[in-house]
C-alpha cells in the first residue's frame, strides 16, 4: 500500500508573515530518494470556497506538504539524519514555519472524471482531518469506506479522492508528531469548482451520512487549499 508523509507547517498567519516559498519545497522534492509524487498546499480564501465551514481560520496551517512513497521502508529511510527530508523539515524555522510530521496509509478512490497525467499541476484541494478518536475505529472506518467515500466520489467536478489512516513509523526528524486519526483529500480544478461541489445536493447527502457515523469525539477540521501537484520520474 502506498504511504504518505504529511509535514504540517504552522506559524504566523499569512497576513502577518512572509508568503510561503513554495518553489523551495518543490525544488527539494528532486532530492528525496524514493519519492514518487508530492503535493504542496497553502491556504485558499475559505469564504470563496466553503462559506458553510465552521473551522476557525486561525487553526489552518500555513503550509501542508505531502510526500508519497511506494512503501513504508522507503519512507522511513528518508526520515533519518543525513537525508534531504531531514534538512527540509528541520530548517523550516527561518521561514516562520514550525512543522509536525505524520505518516499515513493512502487509500485512493476512483472519480468519474480524474485529472489527466502530467508532471505538474495547480489545483484546489479540500483537506479534512479528524483530530479526535472514534469509540470503535474498526466500525468507524468500515462505515466511512462503505458509505461516505462513495458519496464523496460523486461530488461534481471532483478530480481526486484519497483517505488516509495513521501508521506507526520510525523517524529521525527533530520535530513533533501529529496524531490525526484520519485525513481526507478531495481535489478540484479551482476554487469555483470546489465551491460548486460543496453547495451541491451531494454535500447535503454527506452531511446526512455524517449524522449516522459511529460515535466519535474530537475536532473535525476543514481547510480549502491552493495546491501544486507533482509526479516524479523513476530514478
Of 15-19, 75-79, 229-233, the range with the lowest mean pLDDT is 15-19
How much of the chain, in percent, has pLDDT values that exceed 70?
87
| pTM recorded for the entire structure | 0.92
Options 3.30.70.100, 3.40.190.10, 3.40.50.300, 3.40.190.80; CATH for 3-231 is 3.30.70.100
What is the Cβ-side half-sphere exposure of residue 27, based on CA atoms within 13 angstroms? 4
**How far is 81 from 84, CA to CA, in rounded Å?**
9
What is the predicted pLDDT for the residue at 13? 62
What is the predicted pLDDT for the residue at 30? 84
Name the pLDDT band for 58 (thresholds 50, 70, 90).
confident
Asked whether the predicted pLDDT for residue 20 surpasses 70, the reply is no
Asked whether the predicted pLDDT for residue 134 surpasses 70, the reply is yes
Cα–chain center distance at 118: 20
How much of the chain, in percent, has pLDDT values that exceed 90?
70
What is the predicted pLDDT for the residue at 215? 97
The mean pLDDT of 119-134, rounded to a whole number, is 94
Could you tell me the residue ranges of all domains in the chain?
3-231
Asked whether the predicted pLDDT for residue 18 surpasses 50, the reply is no
Name the pLDDT band for 234 (thresholds 50, 70, 90).
low
Of 41-45, 138-142, 193-197, the range with the lowest mean pLDDT is 41-45
**How far is 124 from 191, CA to CA, in rounded Å?**
6
Asked whether the predicted pLDDT for residue 53 surpasses 80, the reply is no
Of 23-37, 173-187, 195-209, the range with the lowest mean pLDDT is 23-37
**How far is 57 from 45, CA to CA, in rounded Å?**
10
Name the pLDDT band for 87 (thresholds 50, 70, 90).
confident
Higher-confidence position of 21 and 235: 21
What is the predicted pLDDT for the residue at 16? 45
Name the pLDDT band for 17 (thresholds 50, 70, 90).
very low
* Residue 12 CB neighbour total at 10 angstroms: 11
Work out the mean pLDDT of the chain and round it to a whole number.
89
Name the pLDDT band for 55 (thresholds 50, 70, 90).
low
What is the predicted pLDDT for the residue at 47? 58
Amino acid at each position: 500500500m502506498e504511504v504518505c508523509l504529511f509535514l504540517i507547517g504552522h506559524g504566523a498567519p499569512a497576513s502577518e508573515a512572509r508568503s510561503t516559498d513554495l518553489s523551495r519545497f518543490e525544488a527539494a522534492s528532486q532530492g528525496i530518494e524514493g519519492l514518487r509524487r508530492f503535493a504542496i498546499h497553502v491556504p485558499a480564501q475559505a469564504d470563496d470556497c466553503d462559506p458553510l465551514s465552521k473551522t476557525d481560520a486561525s487553526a489552518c496551517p500555513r503550509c501542508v506538504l505531502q510526500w508519497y512513497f511506494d512503501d513504508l521502508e522507503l519512507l522511513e529511510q528518508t526520515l533519518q539524519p543525513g537525508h534531504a527530508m531531514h534538512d527540509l523539515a528541520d530548517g523550516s524555522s527561518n521561514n516562520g514555519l514550525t512543522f509536525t510530521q505524520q505518516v499515513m496509509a493512502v487509500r485512493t478512490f476512483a472519480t468519474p472524471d480524474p485529472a489527466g497525467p502530467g508532471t505538474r499541476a495547480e489545483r484546489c484541494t479540500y483537506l479534512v482531518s479528524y483530530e479526535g478518536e472514534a469509540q470503535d475505529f474498526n466500525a468507524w472506518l468500515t462505515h466511512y469506506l462503505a458509505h461516505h467515500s462513495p458519496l464523496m466520489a460523486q461530488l461534481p467536478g471532483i478530480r481526486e479522492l484519497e483517505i488516509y489512516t495513521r501508521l506507526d513509523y520510525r523517524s529521525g526528524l527533530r520535530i513533533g508528531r501529529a496524531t490525526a486519526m484520519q485525513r481526507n483529500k478531495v481535489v478540484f480544478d479551482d476554487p469555483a469548482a470546489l465551491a460548486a461541489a460543496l453547495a451541491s445536493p451531494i454535500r447535503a447527502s454527506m452531511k446526512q451520512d455524517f449524522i449516522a457515523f459511529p460515535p466519535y469525539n474530537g475536532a473535525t477540521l476543514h481547510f480549502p487549499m491552493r495546491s501544486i501537484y507533482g509526479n516524479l520520474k523513476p530514478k
